[in-house]
Structure formats: structure tokens, C-alpha cells
Amino acid sequence: MIVRPRPRFLHLFFIMRGSVVPRILPQIFGFAAYGALVLLVVKALKLDFGNAGTAPFALLGVALSIYLGFRNNAAYDRWWEARKLWGQLVFDIRNLARASTGLIDDRAELRGLLMEAIAFCHFLRGSLRRVDAAPDARGFIGDEVEVVAKAVNAPDAMLRRMGARVAGLRKSGAIDTIGYRILDERLSEIATAQAGCERIAGTPLPFAYTLLLQRTAYVFCLLLPFGLAAPAGWATPLFTALIAYTFFGLDALSEELEDPFGTQPNDLALDGLCRVCEISVFEALGEPAPKMIPAERFYFS
């Protein structure tokens, strides 16, 4: 996630960190060169395309804008829902820490449960980003991480261990039935957030939308120089590059937001959210809390 102050006017044209421009530079320069080539051919051969001008491209541009708007809105909805789910997860971890410190007298059991909660956050982050989170979780649950990491769904395996610990406390009489119900409800809410994240990660936007958008954008930019050659003249490559920047830039941004759990600049800062959970747990235990992860060159992971 990019975290930076609003840039000044002149800075707007030079910011690359967090921008999609580096990803679409081939399309921008490619279509600019293509526009220049078409212009030279049209002028050399003195081609005449009639009086149609840019009217057909205006109509096609409106349709393409509708497609882009729909995909961009759908991608942002996924990004925002993912952020709300992780915000809810932070809330549930804090509630679990608050409730368990009041219900569990055994310090070892209390700390074990909350360390498992932190490990769950890291395993969930690893599962969503498709990275190995075992090294991060090892610092909280030790060698038990090896057993959890072998599970098909490591976050769910971590939740089952937490549920088994709470059930053991109930059986041993360390907590009563009401206390067990309170803690179990907290675990159920955590499981709900996990399921919501897995739903987003496992259900991409329909491929047909992406295919339709990219086909239409390429066809539009390939035909545009022929319509601009007469009215725009030598400015045809510039206008073609600007149109390519707009259409392919929105497409690239939508692609980033579609998978909000990745590690691209505009994805969610899952490392930072896991650290927020760590801070909440350690402060609830009365232990020194780690510092918040700082942004690196405006990038907050």
C-alpha cells in the first residue's frame, strides 16, 4: 500500500512509486510509435478515409469507458471489502485478548492462546499471498509451526488448535460455560473473517470481462491513428499515447486491486496489519510490544 502526502502539481508527472505507468510503458510507447507510422503512411500515400473522422471512435470510446468503469468499480469493491475484513479481524483479535485476559487465570494458557492468535494472522497472510509464513509464525508458537504448516489450510488448522485449547480449559474447570461461550464466539468471528478473505482470493472477476476489455482496448488503439491522422496531423502519436495511457492504465490498476492480498504497491498492507495484531496482544499481556513497521519509500507492506 502506498502511503504518501498529496503530491504537488509538478510532482504529479514524475511520481513512479505506486503508479501503473512502469507496467504500461510498452503499450504507451508502442502505440505512440504505431501512431507515427500510420501517420507517415497516410501522408505518404495520401489516403482519404472520408468524412467519418473521429465520430466512430467517440462511440466506441463511450462503450469502452463503461466496461472499464464496471471492472474498476468491481475491483475496488473487492479491495475495500478485503480491507474491512482485515479491520474486523484486528477488532476480533483485540476482543479475544481482552476477553481471555479476564477469563483465563493461568498465565501459560493465556499466553499460549494469544500467541496462537498471532500465528493465525501470519498463516492467513501467508495463505492469501501464497508465501511461506512459517518463519514468522515460529517466533510465536515455536516448533508447533511444523505441524500446522503441513495442513492443507494452515490458518484453519491454527484455529482448530485454539478451539481445542479453549475446550481443554472448559473441561479442566479453568473457565466456566459462559466463559467458554464468550471465547468460542470470538473464535467464530475470526473464522468468519478468514472465510471472507478466502472467498475474495478464490473467486477472481470473470475472465470474460478482462478479455473483452483488453481486446476492445487494443482494437480501439490500433484503429485510432487512422481516424486522427487527418484532424490531428502530427499530434496523432501524442493523442494515441494518451488514450493508451488512460485505457491500459485503468486496466492495470483494476488488475492490481482485483487481488487485494498481493504484494504490489496498491495492495493491502497485510504485514502492517499483522503487526497491529501483535501490538494489541502484547499490550494486553502487559509485555513490551514491537514497533509498527515503517513505510519504505512510501510503500507500506
Contact 35, 240 (CB under 8 A): yes
Q: Would the CA dihedral through 115, 183, 156, 274 be positive or negative?
A: negative
Where helices occur in the chain by DSSP H, the ranges are 21-45, 55-103, 107-129, 134-141, 144-149, 154-172, 177-202, 207-232, 236-258, 270-285
Three-class DSSP category at 48: coil
Measured CA to CA, the distance from residue 226 to residue 47 in angstroms comes to: 10
What the block records as the C-alpha cell of 294 is 515503517
Q: Would the CA dihedral through 35, 37, 39, 45 be positive or negative?
A: negative
Consecutive sets of 10 residues in the chain, 301 residues long: mean pLDDT of each? 61 64 88 90 75 69 81 91 95 94 91 95 94 92 91 94 94 92 94 95 86 86 84 86 89 88 86 92 92 68 66
Measured CA to CA, the distance from residue 75 to residue 128 in angstroms comes to: 17
Give me the pLDDT at residue 128, please: 94
